[in-house]
Amino acid sequence: MRLQSKGRLAALLASTMFTGLAAPALAQTAGSQLEEVVVTAQKRSENLQDVPVSVQAIGTERLDELQISDMTDYARFLPNVTIQTAAPGFSTIYMRGVASGENNNHSGPLPSVGVYLDEQPVTTITGPLDIHVYDIARVEVLAGPQGTLYGASSQAGTIRIITNKPSPSGFSAAYDLEANKVSHGDYGYGFEGYVNQPLGESMAVRLVAWAQHDAGYIGNVPGTLTYPTGPVTVNNAPLVENDYNEVDTYGARAALRVDLNENWTVTPTLNAQRTEADGGFAYDPGKGDLNVSRFRPESSDDKWFQAAMTIEGTASDLDIVYAGALMKRWIDAESDYSDYSYFYDTLAGYGSYWVDDAGNPHDISQYIQSKDVYKKQSHELRISTPADQPLRVTGGLFYQRQTHNIQQRYKIDDLAAATEVPGWPDTIWLTKQLRVDRDTAAFADMSFDVSEKLTLNAGIRFFKARNSLVGFFGFGEGYSGSTGVAACFGPEDVEGSPCTNVDKVTEDKGHTYRLNAQYDIDEDRMVYVTYSTGYRPGGINRRGTLPPYESDYLKNLEFGWKTTWLQNRLRWNGAIYSESWDDFQFSFLGANGLTEIRNAGNAKMKGIETDVSWVVAEGFTLNGAAAYTDAELDEDYTPDPSAPPAAPKGTSLPVTAKFKANLTARYEWTVGDMDAHVQGSVVHTTSAWPDLRLDDRAVVGKLPSYTTFDLAAGVQRESWRVEAFAKNLLDEEGQLDRGVQCAPAVCSRVFVTPIRPRTIGLRFGQSF
């Protein structure tokens, strides 16, 4: 793909209708026609083709056909979505190029893309839950600002994971078993299953469970580090291991449906998942492909639990919905930070400060032990007028409170007691803080049918946000005479901290809105134009000399179309948009390696996203999606007025590729008394920069373009099915991220997070 920007955009517009480069809902087919796709993007059930919003939805069968089990999997088939990931459970989602490449620090900006599990938001302060995808009705992706209906963390878009609900209509159950082998790695396996059991005519329970082992493919190979102070040479012999980045994920979901009467239904749900990962997920190109040398153990244990309740009913022709949830998430992690020690000792002689009690140089390899506890509660009450009336109104109230109890210990074994943070042995730096984010809102959305063909839509959301940060961060007094303990102004506020040196609060209030006009050309085709805004609340800079960072806003102008052709055999949807991002929040490592968050200025994004589903012939379908995104700074980014711009006007924003597309071809036929299928998918992503600043780009490098191919073939007879598959068939060496362990001006060793190597497997399942 070496077309120039304008040429690529024109080619995309001209060729989409004829090449099948997309699939708006990756829709199921009924015979030789496409089935209707029902979505709830506007918080009411509607046909996808009637919704004047850019929406993609992957349904239950397609999720299974595409071998989708987690966030990274489904993001591949969503061209306007980009994921930057460090390890399972540690991912940041971006949409339409709204990305600054921030370092995702615990006291940094909130996410710009919201993730919902059914009716409840599951986006924690530093990122969303990575929910295992099984027994899911569909994954809906709403592109562009969704601030009116979905609020603060839906500035650039929203992803909704809709589960299959309990049904009193009859018993059903299924299970699936999988075994696979990863190239350059080990063996993986998995189990998934569900049971839907009616409990009378008005009640049912649905139980879902899963357990999955993902094989490792990165090797921790022998290596040494020589710290100049001393000098002291260390090796990693006790930690050498092949395929050391294994992951085990297991969880369960239980949902109960109770029809209280003809008008009211209550659905309580319990969700829980645990992901245990060993090793790291980035390699050092200097050690060879998929190899790294780590000098401290690395692991993460990510556990979460959610209890949710949805109450739905009607009163006086009004639809009423209450959705509430309580969620708690625990993450225990340990990671190697020896590059920080090595480069700071090599360049600045820091090893002379990191000695033992006798004052002798020793192994100064740093490592991080972290314990993060998130708590989140959300409540929404909304009321909607009848959907069959010319004037339709949805209004509601929303409240959300989330906390992050932060504990991070930067440790050096056998560190001199005089250098430690008081009460924390071997700890050179401690972060012990409590962050609280609150969001209160009232919203309304209205649609009015001016005529049989023209509908006007308008929505507004009034919000109030509050962010607070209290606790301790920094060194002990024996190491620093001006920061950490030396900067404390009060006693312990957060349990376990030696004292308090940060206690800040910032508040904001305002509104976002949406204006939309929809014109139905005929019953199969419509166009729409939308102007919408989204916001992200500001927050606290823990460094005392820096002010809070302010809210940033996104403005979106969009023209879209939803069309069906060839007697419902071809569906073509798309949107062209232009967005401006004002005073966007940018977090980076500032002086002494401490994260700073600033409002960096303005940026602009423009692009096109298009999707097609085509039943070419009986049993043969094409599905896919494509997006072109041009995102760049609209003014110089100059953090230091006395220095040249760190990124001049016109610099492309990081993370998001300019062009991303996928195409899936599937053929189904009958062999005797069995149904057979064969399927192939191709996903292409062009290159992207992982960082915004030019000096950092020179060190870190660029994410190269890559193309992956997947194949699958299988048969089904009555209740059982079997399928063989190959993901990333050609073993493409794609990259998800590139980075260094500290500021690129100091740490120059680049680590690469790769896509998963070729994985070949076999699945067997039964349905009852």
Q: What's the burial of 523, exposed, middle or buried (CB within 10 Å: 0-12/13-18/19+)?
A: exposed
**Buried b or exposed e, range 16-34, using 16+ CB within 10 angstroms:** bbebbbbbbbbbbbeebeb
Q: What's the burial of 171, exposed, middle or buried (CB within 10 Å: 0-12/13-18/19+)?
A: exposed
Cis amide linkage into residue 537, ω under 30° from 0: no
According to DSSP, the residues that pair with 313 across neighbouring strands are 320
Cα–Cα distance, 604 to 599 (Å, whole number): 15
Cα–Cα distance, 20 to 591 (Å, whole number): 51
Compute the mean pLDDT over every residue in the chain, rounded to the nearest whole number.
91
CB of 372 closer than 8 Å to CB of 107: no
How far is CA 224 from its chain centroid?
35
Cα–Cα distance, 253 to 267 (Å, whole number): 13
Kindly report, residue by residue over 338-393, the tens digit of the pLDDT.
999 999 999 999 999 999 999 999 999 999 999 999 999 999 999 999 988 999 99
SS (H, E, C) 398-457: EEEEEEEEEEEEEECCCCCHHHCECCECCEEEEEEEEEEEEEEEEEEEEEEECCCCEEEE
Cβ neighbours for 522, distance < 8 A, ≥ 6 positions apart: none
CB of 176 closer than 8 Å to CB of 182: no
CB of 702 closer than 8 Å to CB of 689: yes
Percent of the chain with pLDDT over 90: 77
Question: Can you give the residue ranges of every domain in the chain?
Answer: 5-767
Q: What's the burial of 47, exposed, middle or buried (CB within 10 Å: 0-12/13-18/19+)?
A: exposed
Kindly report, residue by residue over 282-325, the tens digit of the pLDDT.
999 999 999 999 999 999 999 999 999 999 999 989 999 999 99
For position 591, what pLDDT does the model report? 64
Kindly report, residue by residue over 405-444, the tens digit of the pLDDT.
999 999 999 999 999 999 999 999 999 999 999 999 999 9
Confidence of residue 1 (pLDDT cuts 50, 70, 90): very low
* Spatial CA neighbour of 736 closest among 61, 53, 76: 76
For position 86, what pLDDT does the model report? 79
* DSSP-derived 3-state class of residue 122: coil
DSSP conformational letter for 566:
T
HSE-up (13 A, CA, CB side) for residue 136: 27
Determine the number of helices (DSSP H) and then strands (DSSP E) in the chain: 6, 43
* DSSP-derived 3-state class of residue 7: helix
Residues 475-495 have a mean pLDDT of 93
**Buried b or exposed e, range 728-760, using 16+ CB within 10 angstroms:** bbeeeebbbbbbbbbbbebbeebbbbbbbbbbb
Kindly report, residue by residue over 527-569, the tens digit of the pLDDT.
999 999 998 888 888 876 788 888 899 999 999 999 999 999 9
* DSSP-derived 3-state class of residue 610: strand
CB of 255 closer than 8 Å to CB of 269: yes
Relative to beta strand 219-220, strand 291-292 is parallel
| CA distances in angstroms from 225 to 220, 222, 360, 363, listed in the order given | 14, 11, 18, 10
According to DSSP, the residues that pair with 518 across neighbouring strands are 455, 528
Which of 137-151, 328-342, 718-732 comes out lowest in average pLDDT?
A: 137-151
CB of 183 closer than 8 Å to CB of 758: yes
The tokens for 576 are 């062209």
For position 34, what pLDDT does the model report? 87
The yes-or-no verdict on residue 100 having pLDDT over 90 is no
The yes-or-no verdict on residue 622 having pLDDT over 60 is yes
CATH architecture of 5-767: Beta Barrel (2.40)
| CA distances in angstroms from 636 to 108, 640, 648, listed in the order given | 22, 11, 4
* Spatial CA neighbour of 432 closest among 471, 469, 385, 392: 471
| CA distances in angstroms from 722 to 64, 671, 713, 761, listed in the order given | 12, 14, 9, 11
Relative to beta strand 38-39, strand 46-47 is antiparallel
pTM of the entire predicted model: 0.90
Cβ neighbours for 691, distance < 8 A, ≥ 6 positions apart: 101, 654, 697, 700, 744
The yes-or-no verdict on residue 7 having pLDDT over 70 is no
Which of 5-14, 37-46, 542-551, 603-612 comes out lowest in average pLDDT?
A: 5-14
* Spatial CA neighbour of 215 closest among 700, 761, 617: 761
* Spatial CA neighbour of 85 closest among 660, 683, 659, 753: 753
How far is CA 341 from its chain centroid?
31
For position 108, what pLDDT does the model report? 79
The yes-or-no verdict on residue 750 having pLDDT over 60 is yes
* Spatial CA neighbour of 376 closest among 751, 82, 123, 67: 123
Residues 220-224 have a mean pLDDT of 96
For position 17, what pLDDT does the model report? 36
The backbone torsions φ and ψ at residue 445, rounded to the nearest 5 degrees and listed phi first, read -140, 130
**Buried b or exposed e, range 254-292, using 16+ CB within 10 angstroms:** ebbbbbeeeeebbbebebebebbbbbbbbbbeeeeebbb
The yes-or-no verdict on residue 647 having pLDDT over 70 is yes
Cβ neighbours for 392, distance < 8 A, ≥ 6 positions apart: 384, 385, 386, 446, 447, 448
CB of 569 closer than 8 Å to CB of 537: no
Query: Angle at the Cα of 438 (from 436 to 443), degrees rounded to 5?
Result: 165
Kindly report, residue by residue over 160-211, the tens digit of the pLDDT.
999 999 999 999 999 999 999 999 999 999 999 999 999 999 999 999 999 9
Q: What's the burial of 692, exposed, middle or buried (CB within 10 Å: 0-12/13-18/19+)?
A: buried
Residues 88-104 have a mean pLDDT of 84
